[in-house]
Structure 1
Amino acid sequence: MQDTAPPTATGPESATPYTPTARTVPTRAKERASYDRELVHSILDAACLCHLGFVRDAAPVVLPTLYGRVGERLYVHGSTGSRPLRNARAAADPGLPVCLTVTHVDALVLARSAFHHSINYRSVVVHGTATTVTDPEERRIALDAIVDQAVPGRSRDARPANTKELAATAVIRLDLDEVSAKVRTGGPNDEPEDLTLPHWTGIVPLTRGYGSPVPAEDLDPAVGVPEYLRAL
């Protein structure tokens, strides 16, 4: 398959929602589903870890991995010997069918009844076909995006991969075509008959934070903490 430049969503197109499909319409809690492009992008951009699902030898496999977003594409990288990347190369055109998910857990929701306990979350599910990236320039863009997804600005402050490292690294891409977000907010949904029960109820917020950077033991003391790390 011929490589093409990463697509971007700008102007009126960026406000166009994703089109629901049979695979992206949930069977439960449909009111929590959204196809808003900006919401999907915000959920993806606030994370760096995804779970990539595919079928190998007639059995499902789900792997946690880092990713990067460039416009309307997601990129995943790994060893050329890793299962999904090897399967993407070996799969017949147009590539390897996958499902990629990203989830943020924002709060624990504690109800009066065990049945109504829940979590507040933001999630994205992407269905599609992953293809191997072979174009050198797109590979460079993809690898920089994966680094910057974890730590914005880091790709400009690190040695780029050399020829040997690039030869050992495979990159696959997944277009954001069949996409949905799902979000839960708010407190518990207790049954009316449970409202007088003497059990604590409410939410326990969960937050993600960064600690102070810890320098490597062999770091030159003259090298200070860069501004992009201070800004985390």
Structure 2
Amino acid sequence: MPSLSSSLLKNLISAGFALGMLAGCASHSNGPPLPGLADRVELGAVPFYRGDEYQGSSLALAALLTLQGVSITPGLLEPTLHLPKDVDGLPSAVPNAAREFGFMVYPLDPALNALLAQVAAGYPVLLRYDAGSMVWSQPRYALLIGYDRYKRHVILRSGDERRELLDFDAFASAWKKAGSWAVLVQRPTQLPAQVDRQRWLRAASELGQAGHEQAAAQAVRAVAGH
């Protein structure tokens, strides 16, 4: 297909923003209400790469990309993430790497319910939390792939643990210590649960700026028809 001009893509995104404003207010920072949320969810098909090198960044992202059909390994991702020389740059390198593969990076509200809503919809969440002990800890990238509301715990693909269980309070605290960062890595036509239109359009704009203008335009059309 011929590529879209930058001006046309900008017009599409601007129009999408206008539609989002007409649709109503953006989600409250405390997360959306969750009537009907399943009591137990586990996304067992999410791949798992064991290890804790580079804060688990290449492992977690490779698992998500593999789930989306990309033929990739953590080792192949390391140059894209500027590893091993720039571990400190991971907060920007991880989302940039996902965009390089043509995927939307959609940030989530800093509230546990916002994460659980996406998992309940079938979407694993890429996040960063503070792993370790009171004596020593470091940020770690992981995938939230399940939860149990009765037992009050989340299920993570993290480090050497295929199914790391953390109770809600411990997870929320560890996640907050690492900045409450959590995103979805989605195909341009794969809208999140309870999608925030303006947030999705910002993600589309960032994808277009990364050189994937056709994919960005797909994302704009997807939310316009939602």
- TM class by shorter chain equals under 0.3
Bigger radius of gyration: 1
Q: TM-score, normalised by structure 2?
A: 0.24
Structure 1 or 2: larger helix share?
2
Q: TM-score, normalised by structure 1?
A: 0.23
